[in-house]
Chain A
Amino acid sequence: AQSVAQPEDQVNVAEGNPLTVKCTYSVSGNPYLFWYVQYPNRGLQFLLKYITGDNLVKGSYGFEAEFNKSQTSFHLKKPSALVSDSALYFCAVRAPSGGGNKLTFGTGTQLKVEL
C-alpha cells in the first residue's frame, strides 16, 4: 500500500527567508508525486508534480520540489517566502499503474509566513 508522511504539522518562516515543507513517501515502483495547496475555505489547488525526468521540478507561485529516490522524499521549497504563501500544503503519491489513479495524501502541513 502507498503512503505519505508529512512530519511537521506546522512550519513557521519569516517573509523573505527560504522555506521547506517536508514529505516522504512509500510506494511500489516509481512514484508519481504531487504537491497541492489549500487556502482557507477553498478546495485544493495543484502546485507541481514529479512523474519522471529531472529531479528538481518547478511549479506555480515560485515553488519547486526535489525528488530524492534514495531518501524517498519530495520536499517542497521556495527561495523567498511571502506572507501570501501562508496556507495548508499537502503532499500526495500515486502508484505508477493500476488502482484507478488514486492519490494518497499526507496529513498536511500548515505554513505560516510572518513579517
Chain B
Amino acid sequence: NAGVTQTPKFQVLKTGQSMTLQCAQDMNHNSMYWYRQDPGMGLRLIYYSASEGTTDKGEVPNGYNVSRLNKREFSLRLESAAPSQTSVYFCASREQGSVSYEQYFGPGTRLTVT
C-alpha cells in the first residue's frame, strides 16, 4: 500500500514551458487535493476534487488546470510556467464521508521555474 504517490520528485522548467504533475492514491479515497507550499505562507489549496468527475478551484488556482482522470489519479497542469510558480507541490487525498476527516499527503514535487 503506497498511499499517495507523486511524480516527478524534482523538475526545472524555463518560463513558458508546460508540464503536468502526476498524483495517484491507492486508498480508494474519493477526494483529492493539490496544494503549493511556499516559505512563510504555509500550504495553499490550488484545486480539489471532491469525487471522480468533479473539480473545484481553491485559494490560488490561476495559472493551473487539473484533471481527475479516474478515482485514483488527479493531475495538475501548468500550461505556461512562470517564476512565481516555483514552489513545492503536494497532492493529498481523503476518504469522503469518513469521520476521520484527515488528509493524507504525498511526498511532494519540487518545481523550479527559471
Contacts and interface: CB of A to CB of B under 8 A. Distances in A.
Among A90, A94, A103, A105, the most chain B Cβ lie within 10 Å of the Cβ of A103
Contacts of B56: 100
Nearest to B107: A43
A44 B90 contact: yes
Among B43, B45, B50, B100, the most chain A Cβ lie within 10 Å of the Cβ of B43
A9 B50 CA distance: 32
Interface in A68-109: 90, 94, 100-103, 105-108
Given A43-B90, A101-B94, A105-B42, A34 B50 contact: no
Interface in A21-77: 32, 34, 36, 41-46, 49, 51
Contacts of B101: 32, 34, 49, 51, 94, 101
A100 B103 CA distance: 12
Interface residues of A, number: 22
A90 B43 contact: yes
Interface in B88-107: 90, 92, 94, 96, 99-107
B4 A43 contact: yes
Nearest to B30: A101
Interface string B70-114: 000000000000000000001010101001111111111000000
23 contacts: A34-B101, A34-B102, A41-B108, A42-B108, A43-B90, A43-B106, A43-B107, A43-B108, A44-B92, A46-B102, A46-B103, A49-B101, A49-B102, A100-B56, A101-B50, A102-B58, A103-B45, A103-B103, A105-B35, A105-B42, A105-B44, A106-B42, A107-B41
Instruction: Sort A-B residue pairs by CB-CB distance and give the 6 closest, nearest first.
Output: A43-B105, A107-B42, A105-B43, A105-B42, A44-B105, A46-B102
